[in-house]
Structure 1
């Protein structure tokens, strides 16, 4: 059976293991049910997630002109410390910025390839951890806006990473860490503006991913270079599909690509 649509990040359901769904405009695929099946992915065209035009994707699923114009791709998305809505200052669209920035945000520790610090809206827990392929995570600070979360992350990343090594994550070369101990160790470095929001008593969340076989030497599928790919699906972790031949496909990194998917 063949399905076609524009790629957006897989929807997820927190269970043991995580359930994944690839959602198109008129169809959706329960990806867990496709494990051990042969899948063909065929690049069809581009479709910017903002303007819907067939223009090369620049970043985050957007064409270049949209990326530098729309509020959904502004610098504060990747660098929360640049948020200014709490000051009533506009970057690209103050109404949108207030809606996103002026809501509860969480600073967390997650273990995907090693312990890292990150920021997300409270409403995105545990989705954010799933998308990063973390097998364990814990909230350490819950603040009322994105700016406070951002400055906390900046302060803590002097002492803990803020990046995930995707290859290590996919190979499952991860060591269990005591995130409660990490939380207590890092408390002293939290900025005073955010210290009152420190979470004293919580425990790790553990996540299990639907993977039958981890890759030893993962190689990334790039649809611009390889517009047609066929392989046996062996696992899903983070936003990656893992295939039997060591190929891995980053769905989120391919947002805005229209593909045909054939299942044998």
Structure 2
């Protein structure tokens, strides 16, 4: 059976283990059902997630012109502390920025390759943690806008990492941590403006991924260099497909690529 469509990040369902769905325009695939099956991924072309034109993807699934124009790719997306909608100041599109920035945001700790701090909209919990391949996570503060979450994250980055090592995450070389202790230890470094939003009552969320075999030396699949790849699917973690030959394919990094996916 062959499916064809534009890659976007896999949809997930929180269960034990996580259920993954690859969604195309006219079809979707429950990827968990493909474990131990041979999959062929063929690169067909590009389709910008914004303008839908056949243009090379620059970043985040967008062509270069869209990336530097649309609010969905503005700097405050990756750096929440640059948010300005709470000041009624426009960056690229104030209406969109108010819609996204002026809603509850969570600052959290997640353990994927190590303990790291991050920010997400409240509506994206636990999806954000799943997408990062975190096997455990905990909320630190819930604030009313993206800016406050961003400045809290910046303050905490002096004392805890803010990046995931994708190789360590995929090899599952992880150590369980007491995130409640981490949270309580970091409380003193939360900025005064966000201190009243500290969450003291919640516990860790634990996440199980559908992985039958972890790679020892993961190597990333680049569809532009290898436009036709075939392998046996052995696991899914974060937004990565893990294959028997230790090839890994990051769906999120290939958003906007049109592929044909065949299952044997």
TM-score (norm 1): 1.00
- Distance in 2 between residues matched to 1:227 and 1:188, nearest whole Å: 50
Whether 1:246 aligns to 2:261 is no
Aligned partner of 1:201 in structure 2 is 201
Aligned partner of 1:25 in structure 2 is 25
Aligned partner of 2:237 in structure 1 is 237
Shift of 1:86: 0.2
Residue aligned with 1:197, SS = coil
Shift of 1:140: 0.4
Aligned partner of 1:189 in structure 2 is 189
Aligned partner of 2:76 in structure 1 is 76
- Distance in 2 between residues matched to 1:183 and 1:85, nearest whole Å: 28
Shift of 1:10: 0.1
Shift of 1:127: 0.1
**Unaligned runs of at least 5 residues, structure 2:** none
Aligned partner of 1:262 in structure 2 is 262
Aligned partner of 2:16 in structure 1 is 16
- Distance in 2 between residues matched to 1:76 and 1:186, nearest whole Å: 24
Residue aligned with 1:253, SS = helix
Shift of 1:132: 0.1
Aligned partner of 2:221 in structure 1 is 221
Residue aligned with 1:177, SS = coil
- What whole-Å deviation, never above 9, does each CA across 1:211-258 have from its counterpart, x for those lacking one? 000000000001111100000000000000000000000000000000
Aligned partner of 1:179 in structure 2 is 179
- Distance in 1 between residues matched to 2:220 and 2:54, nearest whole Å: 24
- Distance in 1 between residues matched to 2:222 and 2:186, nearest whole Å: 38
Shift of 1:113: 0.1
Aligned partner of 2:169 in structure 1 is 169
- Distance in 2 between residues matched to 1:163 and 1:211, nearest whole Å: 22
Residue aligned with 1:208, SS = coil
- Distance in 2 between residues matched to 1:149 and 1:122, nearest whole Å: 11
- Distance in 1 between residues matched to 2:224 and 2:44, nearest whole Å: 11
Structure 1: which 4+ aligned runs deviate by more than 6 Å? Answer: none
Alignment RMSD (CA, Å): 0.3
**Unaligned runs of at least 5 residues, structure 1:** none
- Distance in 2 between residues matched to 1:54 and 1:240, nearest whole Å: 25
Shift of 1:182: 0.1
- Distance in 1 between residues matched to 2:56 and 2:167, nearest whole Å: 26
